[in-house]
Amino acid sequence: MVVLSTPAMEQYSQIRSCKPATLFSGIPLIDLSKPDTKHLVKACQEFGFFKVINHGVPMEFISKLEAEAMKFFSSPLSEKEKAGPPAPFGYGNKNIGRNGDIGWVEYLLLTTNPEFNSQRFLSKFGQNPENLRASINDYISSVKKMACEVLELMADGLNIQPRNGFSKLLMDEQSDSVFRLNHYPPCPELQALNGRNMIGFGEHTDPQIISVLRSNNTSGLQISLRDGSWISVPPDQDSFFINVGDSLQVLTNGRFQSVRHRVLANSDKSRLSMVYFGGPPLNEKISPLPSIMKGEESLYKEFTWFEYKKSAYNAKLADYKLGHFEKI
Ligand code: GA4
């Protein structure tokens, strides 16, 4: 952390000297029209992260949601704040979670339950919530389908039977999945910061099973490699990026590892991302699937998704959250 020189940013503490990361061209690529499950398993083991093309999510759903989201984020702050605070769902600005994390970001945090989105939450939107609601629901149902397809390919690659071992957790009516629209406004003051960076969303792993991210063409997303170095992910608005979450790490007894990632603000372009976080029902036990355990011991204590979520939500973004749940 450094002393700030630009008055408007004086109280802003998220300035960091991050080593410049080059755009990385080695992100694993999975083509869903001809999936290679071996390559997929390797990507989840080595990176916990990969890019998906030929994903089957209609471009029309994506662009409609992007346009509606930009309309929302372009409205006056006083209007947006009517949809806040994000406790648990709604509009948030700079504050992330409840433990003092801050980022150069504003967002909408929503449950994926279409009924909730239609009644309680969207009633807080001033003008015309209908279009936003419809585009969120169309987008989520299509992305969830794709996430389940990816999880079934992972199960195939790991010889897990039945192949819906992971995906059934997202398909469950009680699935505790969330959806997030993140808007990272441009941060022109960055130019005065001599190459230092502004954190848009601080480093963390996602607690759920799988996260499916799509963004506009603005860079900012970085992932951490297993050696701890950071690489910048070249943006690609036509593809999706998938993160292995902490719960999938446990379900695979550590074969797959969740990916640490973060977003840096951009000085002149705004970034919009849409992220679906696929989670299990709250009462679901998160433990390695039996068909993966060929006589081996679980690396983790037994816990439910409710217990893990509670612990994760009481932590800071950057904390290593699985630590409490590992057998020593
Ligand atoms: C990270 C993944 C999702 O965005 C999220 C985040 C949640 C929040 O924004 O409230 C958390 C974060 C996320 C993990 C640690 C806690 C909770 C912020 C935070 C500091 C919605 C989620 O499920 O966990």
pLDDT in tens for each of the 328 residues of the chain? 333 444 445 445 566 777 667 777 899 999 999 999 999 999 999 999 999 999 999 999 999 999 999 999 999 999 999 999 999 899 999 999 999 999 999 999 999 987 776 666 667 775 667 888 889 999 999 999 999 999 999 999 999 999 999 999 999 999 999 999 999 999 888 777 777 788 999 999 999 999 999 999 999 999 999 999 999 999 999 999 999 999 999 999 999 999 999 999 988 899 999 999 999 999 999 999 999 998 899 999 999 999 999 999 999 999 999 999 999 7
The finding on whether 62 has its CB within 6 A of some atom of ligand 1 is no
Most ligand 1 atoms within 8 A of CB, residue of 94, 95, 96 to mutate: 96
> Which is the catalytic residue, given 133, 180, 214, 271?
271
Q: Which residues are 244's β-sheet partners?
A: 210
Domain annotation covers residue 14: no
**Is ligand 1 within 6 A of the CB of residue 305?**
no
Q: In angstroms, what is the span from residue 162 Cα to ligand 1's centroid?
A: 30
| pLDDT at residue 24, rounded to an integer | 78
Q: What per-residue confidence (pLDDT) applies to 120? A: 64
Q: Ligand 1 in contact with 251 (CB < 6 A)? A: no
Q: Is residue 320 part of a domain?
A: no
Nearest CA to ligand 1 atom 19: 97
Taking CA atoms only, the protein residue closest to ligand 1 atom 8 is 97
- Over residues 66-105, the pLDDT tens digits come to 999 999 999 999 999 999 999 989 999 999 999 999 999 9
Residue 186 lies in a domain: yes
Confidence (pLDDT) at 113 = 82
Atom of ligand 1 at shortest range from CA of 208: 23
Cβ neighbours of residue 50 under 8 Å, at least 6 residues apart? 27, 28, 29, 30, 40, 43, 44, 241, 242
Decide whether any atom of ligand 1 lies within 6 Å of the 204 Cβ. Answer: yes
Tell me what pLDDT residue 7 has.
45
Ligand 1 atom nearest to 101, measured from its CA: 20
What is the reported pLDDT for 45? 98
Within-domain flag for 8: no
Classify residue 239: in a domain, yes or no.
yes
CA-proximal residue: ligand 1, atom 7 (nearest)? 97
Ligand 1 centroid to residue 317 C-alpha, Å: 7
- The protein residue whose alpha carbon is closest to atom 18 in ligand 1 is 97
Does the interface ipTM go beyond 0.95? yes
Which atom of ligand 1 lies at the shortest distance from residue 92's CA?
9
Is 315 a pocket residue for ligand 1 (Cβ < 6 Å)?
yes
In a domain, 110, yes or no: yes
Range of the domain at 278: 19-314
User: Residue 223's domain is classified under what CATH number?
Assistant: 2.60.120.330
Task: Give the chain's domain count.
Answer: 1
Atom of ligand 1 nearest to the CA of 211: 2
Give yes or no: 98 in active site.
no
User: Is residue 326, in this structure, part of any structural domain at all?
Assistant: no
pTM: predicted TM-score of the whole model, two decimal places: 0.94
